[in-house]
Structures are given as C-alpha cells and as structure tokens.
Amino acid sequence: MIRHVVMLWILATIALGCAITLSCASALRAYRSLGIASIRLSETIRDAGTITEIRARLPAYSLRDEARGSLTPRVTTAMERAGLPAATLVSLSPQAESGLAREGGVQLSSRRATLMLSNLSLPQLGRFLDAWRSTEVAWLPVSIDLSPASGKPPDAGGDLPLRVVITIESRSLKEAGS
C-alpha cells in the first residue's frame, strides 16, 4: 500500500513538473511578445510625437482663406513691419482662384497674386520677405524677379535701387459644394 502511495506521489510530482515546464515555456513566449509589443509601442509614441511636431510647423490651411480679408492690408502690414514706405508698393494684382484637385468631397484650390515693389534695396527686400514669412505662412513666394529700378543712380557705395516682382501663391482646402 505504501508503494502505491509513493508511486502516486511520484506520478503527481512528474505531472506537476510537466505542467510547470509547459507553463514556463508559455510564460517565456508571452514575456518575449511583451518586449516586442513594448518596443513597438515606444516607436509608435515617438512617431506620433514627430507627426505632431511636423503638423505644428505646417501652415494652417483653413477651409476658407477669404475670411481673413483682402490681400492689400496684409501686404501693407508686412511692409510696415519691414520699415518700408507705402510708396514702395507699385501694384498688387490678385488672380482668379483655380481648382487643382478634388477628392473625397474636398477640393484643393490655388490662388496667386503678383506684387510689384520699386526703389528698394536688397536688404530692404530681405526684411520684407522675412516680415511676410512670419505673418503670412499660407501665402508663399513662388517666384521673385529683380531688375534695376529706373531713375536715379545709387549713391557711391550705396545699394542699387531695385524693381521687384514677387508672385505669391496660397493653397487652400474647400469642402465640395461650398
């Protein structure tokens, strides 16, 4: 009888050892999966932070840029910030809006304007472009044409007065049908 009890204990111990061994192998696989998932989660959090930073640096596209008003006061504000006299602005010619692409109920449209400035130096142009960039992130210069301004020659050692034609462009998103 004692022999049967001892055999029963031995069999129970072997069965328990097998169960523990199988559980340990399963737990080890789960621990490895947890490590891989943890690394992927860290990478996803890092990528989400990068995307958030990039979005914060991009210009904010409104569904309607016209709500901000006419382009003329925005140009004169940038000129004032750059310290340019109002007489520097020769002309401002906005062009009609053109649709670029339409997909999923949203239309991407583009607006252009041509801005002509006269009798300004290269450093003044740089100040104007810097002021424009800091106030008007949605309107980007796409071309700049420089030529000598007609009129008086520059002072000795002074900057050559320039006539500048800047083409600016704004792209905006619109809901289809609005």
pLDDT in tens, 81-124: 999 998 899 999 888 777 665 666 667 778 889 999 998 888 99
Output the six-digit token pair for 62.
Answer: 């409104």
Q: Phi first, then psi: what are they for 124, rounded to 5°? A: -65, -40
Task: Determine the distance from the C-alpha atom of residue 152 to the mean position of all C-alpha atoms in its chain, rounded to a whole number.
Answer: 43
Please state, in angstroms and rounded to a whole number, the distance separating the CA atoms of residues 140 and 89: 18
- The pLDDT value recorded for residue 64 is 47
Please state, in angstroms and rounded to a whole number, the distance separating the CA atoms of residues 174 and 178: 7
Please state, in angstroms and rounded to a whole number, the distance separating the CA atoms of residues 139 and 110: 10
19-40 pLDDT, tens digit per residue, is 888 888 888 888 899 999 999 9
Tokens 């000129």 correspond to 79
For residue 165, pLDDT over 90 is answered with: yes
- The pLDDT value recorded for residue 153 is 65
Q: What is the DSSP string of the chain?
A: -HHHHHHHHHHHHHHHHHHHHHHHHHHHHHHHHHHHHHHHHHHHHHHHHHHHHHHHHS----S-GGGG--HHHHHHHHHHHHT--GGGEEEEEE---EEEEEETTEEEEEEEEEEEEEEE-HHHHHHHHHHHHHH-SSEEEEEEEEEEPSSSPPPTTSPPPEEEEEEEEEEEEEETT-
Per-residue three-class SS string for 58-76: CCCCCCCHHHHCCHHHHHH
